[in-house]
Structure 1
Amino acid sequence: MLQVAIKKKLADFTLDVQFTVENNILVLIGHSGAGKTTILRAIAGLLRPDEGTIIHNECILFSSTTKTFVPPQLRRVGYMFQEFALFPHMDVRKNIWYGVKQHNHTTNELYERLLGLLHIEHLTTRFIDRLSGGEKQRVALARALMAEPAILLLDEPLSALDSDTRLELQAELKKIQGIWKIPFILVTHDISEAKALGDRFLFIKKGRQTAESSLQAKEFLECPNVG
């Protein structure tokens, strides 16, 4: 379980959120600039909150009380950025393996498994500029999972894709989360995408959770006023 209770003063408001995530998909919903990406960055260790705690399975990643701050490289948090952040001077294989410390039988098996799950076996020798948007998304997801994260963060990963590709990759994400069984936290402002992917939802407005934040998937899908 991931437990987050943090405050961070930003330019226009103070981010103040408190939530937990089991081994399912939590979707953060809100307008641009609401603080969604700031939450991801705090969990990843790319930003230090002013107050609060971030705890994963009893491991304290951040605590303002005890002055604990685990650096990003030690958190086992995978972060899939909106712009994918792939390396254009490397082919697909090297991008996926980037950051993996050990090359052994176990990691080789994981690599082959990810290629199959994401249907990118035929792309391994291609460079990034020769990939479509959907192919880049799959490669970025494979790279994030190759690090065997305990938590996966996804910042609007499907926003730049056409509708058909988005639907296909939504299904892939759900399938992979079901296999990995780790907390996924996904940022989106697209209500239909949130409904397709989310098990739980957190509505963020100017850094704070709104009343709808306690809705579960069934209630959210049936709510006529959402969006």
Structure 2
Amino acid sequence: MLHVDIKKRLADFTLDIHFSVQNNIVVLFGPSGCGKTTTLRCIAGLIKPDEGTIMKGEQVFFASESNRFIPPRYRRIGYMFQDYALFPHMNVRRNIWYGVKKNNSKANELYARLMSLLRIGHLAGRYIHNLSGGEKQRVALARALMAEPHILLLDEPLSALDHDTRLELQVELKKMQQIWDIPFILVTHDANEAKALGDQLLFLERGRQIPPPSAWDSYPVQCYGVSY
């Protein structure tokens, strides 16, 4: 289980958030600028919170009381950025292998499995500028999973896609989470996407958890959101 209980002072408000997630998908939902991406960056270790704890099982990533902070490279966390952050000077294969420390039989088996599952084997030699939005999304997801993360963070991964591709890749993300069986933490401000993907929903407004809107009362997943 991943446990997050942190505070981080920002320019306009203080991010004050706490939640736990098992091996499923938790969606951080709210308007732009409410602290969703900052939460992901704190979990990844790209930003250091001011107070609190971040733990995965017994491993402590951050604890303000004991002044403990584990750098990102030791957290085994995959991060899929909103713009995918793919390298235009590398082809698809090199992008996916980027950052893999050991090129052994296990890694090659994982690569082949990802190419098959995500249906991108035919793209291996292409460069990024020759890919569609949906193809870029699949390549970015393959690269994140190639590192065999214990947690996957996704920052509005489908926001730039057309409606049909977006629906198709929502299904892909659900399937990949079930196969990998690790926590996925996904950021969105799209209500339909939150409903389609979330096993748990956490509502944010100006850095604080808020009660679920009344329109969500009948939605059959766990909805976080009580203010402190």
TM range (shorter): over 0.9
Partner residue in 2 for 1:197: 197
Equivalent in the alignment of 1:218: 220
Q: Residue 121 of structure 2 aligns to which amino acid in structure 1? A: E
- Residue-by-residue CA offset, 1:27-61 (whole Å, 9 max, x unaligned): 00000000000000000000000000000011000
Q: In 2 relative to 1, CA 117–204 (structure 1 residues): closer, same or farther, beyond 3 Å? A: same
Q: Which amino acid aligns with 1:54?
A: I
2:146 aligns with: 146
1:28–1:187: 8 Å Cα contact kept in structure 2? Answer: yes
Partner of 1:225: none
The reply on whether 1:172 has 2:172 as its aligned counterpart is yes
Partner of 2:119: 119
Identify the residue that residue 106 of structure 1 maps to in structure 2.
106
Question: Secondary structure of the residue that 2:220 maps to in structure 1?
Answer: helix
How far 1:216 sits from its partner (Å)? 9.1
Higher mean C-alpha deviation, range 73-82 or range 206-215: 206-215
Q: Say if 1:54 and 1:165 are closer, same or farther in 2 by CA, change over 3 A.
A: same
Q: What's the TM-score, normalizing by structure 2?
A: 0.94
Give the Cα separation in 2 of the matches to 1:185 and 1:215: 22
Letter in 2 for 1:3: H
| 8 Å CA contact retained: 1:28, 1:186 | yes
Which aligned pairs between 1:52-131 and structure 2 lie closer than 5 A?
52-131=52-131
Partner AA of 2:198 in structure 1 = G
**How many residue pairs are counted as aligned between the two chains?**
221
Bigger Cα displacement from structure 2, 59-68 vs 212-221: 212-221
User: Could you tell me how far 1:215 is from its partner in structure 2?
Assistant: 7.1
Whole-angstrom distance in 1 between the partners of 2:218 and 2:72: 30
| Consecutive unaligned residues in structure 1, runs of 5 or more | 222-227
Q: Which runs of 5+ in 2 are unaligned?
A: 224-228
State whether residues 44 and 77 of structure 1, in contact with CA within 8 Å, keep that contact through their aligned partners in structure 2: yes
SS at match of 1:211: coil
Shift of 1:184: 0.3
- CA shift, 1:217, in A, is 5.2
Q: Could you say which residue in structure 1 is the equivalent of 2:160?
A: 160
What's the TM-score, normalizing by structure 1?
Answer: 0.95
RMSD: 1.6
Please give the alpha-carbon distance, in whole angstroms, between the structure 2 residues aligned to 1:58 and 1:2: 9
1:71-118 per-position Cα deviation (integer Å, ceiling 9, x unaligned)? 001100000000000000000000000000000110000000000110
- Once residues 112 and 205 of structure 2 are traced to their aligned partners in structure 1, the CA distance between those partners, rounded to angstroms, is 41
Q: In the aligned structure 2, how far is the partner of 1:216 from the partner of 1:114?
A: 36
Q: Quick check: 1:201–1:216 contact (8 Å CA) kept in 2?
A: no
Matched residue type, 1:83: D
